[in-house]
Amino acid sequence: MKYELKATARYFLPIYLAILTLSLIIGLRGVNETFLPFLNFLLPTILGLSFMGLMVMTVILIVTRFDKNLLGDEGYLMFTLPTKVTTLIHAKLLSSMLWILLSGLIFLLSILFITFRHISFLDLRILWDTLPKDYMFLLLLVLLTVVGILQSLLQVYASLSIAQSYSITKNRVLGGILVFIVISMAFNIFESVVSLGGTFFFRESPWLQMVMDETMFQNIEDIFQFFKSFMTVYLVYTSVKAVLFYFFTKYHLEKKLNLD
Amino acid sequence: MMDPIIQLKHLSKHFGKTKALDNVTLTIPKGKIIGLLGPNGSGKSTLFKILNGLLAPTEGEVLIGGHAPSIESKGLISYLPERTYLNDWMKVHELLDFFEDFYEDFQRNKAMTMLEALHIDPKAALKTLSKGNKEKVQLILVMSRKAEVYLLDEPIGGVDPAARDYILSTILSNYAEGATLLISTHLISDIEKIFDEVIFLKDGGIYDYASVEDIREKSGQSIDELFREVFKC
């Protein structure tokens, strides 16, 4: 874990720093500053590009760290260490998770830096107070984000592990992408069938009609209620998927390792 | 026979239609230095990878000190693969930290002494080192462990002849007492003087497994000469 963080920090920290400085400069200049007008265009462009770069880099690093460090030459070291395979997976998973969350935080911070001259904190306070305080909803939202990220990461890991076990293509990453697409399609089909089936069976159900009517016309509390039950179902489904991918990864790295 | 440290039972590994290892049964005792000899593609590296749990065998069983490849067996084995497996961006002393963290039997002072003797700066980043020096660092890390089994895959392949003798003596003077060394190599004449026993691998099977003395007495040849005769193209 320690080494995984160290290895990835080399890439992330510099770009975080760059983004924050850039947003700070933009924020300090103010949007309507006339000084050096071309900067009005240039700076946001650079910032936008850095964000895109950050996103692309995050994805690429997640894939290459797993591929190179575990399935490439470095795997000869990692898999001969007297540690559990699960420890290796956890280290990768947690540090990737951390970087994704940090990237999100940096994004928010950067927005804040850019706009801090134009927003009053009093307004924010009032906005905050008027929002309905539904902690259950917030909790669900956070859980859903976290589990969603974990699930996607694990799908990437599972795809790469499966691809290496059966040497699907000469190029490991390419094989991983193929497996990833196949898995995604399979789940898509499954999800469509379920939701189609759902609408088919419930289309004449008076209960659903009632629920729909209620949510359409009732107050905000009820809409929240509806969202919450929907989110809970989705959360459980995503967790199941995540666990499934976790065991796929573990099985293929433990029992079907095939380093070349 | 003495206590076995490595046992292979009917071990096979197939890659598609090719049989890298074909029904190998073998028992290796403790405390011997054994040469694993065979031409390219005879299954030497595959055998090493299976012993380390890097490859799952198609059939058969492997036991190292009584354990199937697992955390327990990995703690017993010190493995030098035929390729460089180290993080390029790490510095040599960071690699020492890494090994110290993961292996209880890693002896840091031993590693430092060897680095010094081979004039390798512990503060150097690995990517600034030459290929030969990287291999030396790897060998130093592997030999600084007090393991029960050392699996060395081509340990002197990329090293210049002048350093070979030093490395051989490093291997001999640093391996833990009572441990077993399994060394694969093409450079037989350089290294055969240190072997107690040799295993000849041919087409994924064991062609011969005998002590060096027996071979010399029986055939009147050196291992190198015998190898050339057996595997003549």
Residue A30 has pLDDT above 70, yes or no: no
| Contact (CB, 8 A) for B179 and B149 | yes
Q: Is the ipTM of this structure higher than 0.85?
A: no
Q: Do B52 and A82 touch (CB under 8 A)?
A: no
Domain range holding B213?
4-230
Which residues lie closer than 8 Å to A167 by C-beta, 6 or more apart? A175, A258, A260
Per-residue pLDDT tens digits for A92-126: 888 888 888 888 888 888 777 777 666 667 777 77
- Nearest residue, CB atoms, A77 vs list B77, B85, B89: B85
Mutate to test the interface with A, among B78, B102, B135, B145 (most CBs of A within 10 A): B102
Confidence (pLDDT) at A242 = 92
Q: Do A82 and B103 touch (CB under 8 A)?
A: yes
Of all residues in chain B, the percent with pLDDT exceeding 90 is 8
Instruction: Say which DSSP state B128 is in.
Output: G
Residue A52 CA to its chain's centroid (Å): 15
Q: How far apart are CA B182 and CA B141, in angstroms?
A: 17
Q: Do A75 and B85 touch (CB under 8 A)?
A: yes
Any idea of the CA torsion for B74, B75, B76, B81, to the nearest 10 degrees? 50
For residues A38-55, one letter each, b for 16 or more C-beta atoms within 10 angstroms of the residue's C-beta and e for the rest, the string is eebeebeebbeebbeebe
Provide the domain count of chain B: 1
Per-residue pLDDT tens digits for A158-187: 999 988 887 767 778 888 889 999 999 999
Q: Strand B33-37 vs strand B149-153: parallel, antiparallel, or unpaired?
A: unpaired
| Contact (CB, 8 A) for B110 and B144 | yes
Q: Which long-range contacts (CB under 8 A, 24 or more apart) does B100-103 make?
A: B101/A2, B102/A81, B102/A82, B102/A83, B103/A81, B103/A82, B103/B75, B103/B145
Q: Could you tell me the pLDDT band of residue A244, with boundaries at 50, 70 and 90?
A: very high
CATH value at residue B31: 3.40.50.300
The maximal CA–CA distance of chain A, rounded, in angstroms, is 65
Confidence (pLDDT) at A29 = 56
Closest CA to B156 of B225, B82, B95: B82
Any idea of the CA torsion for A10, A14, A16, A17, to the nearest 10 degrees? 140
| Contact (CB, 8 A) for B95 and B86 | yes
> Which chain A residues have a beta carbon less than 8 Å from that of B53?
79-80, 257
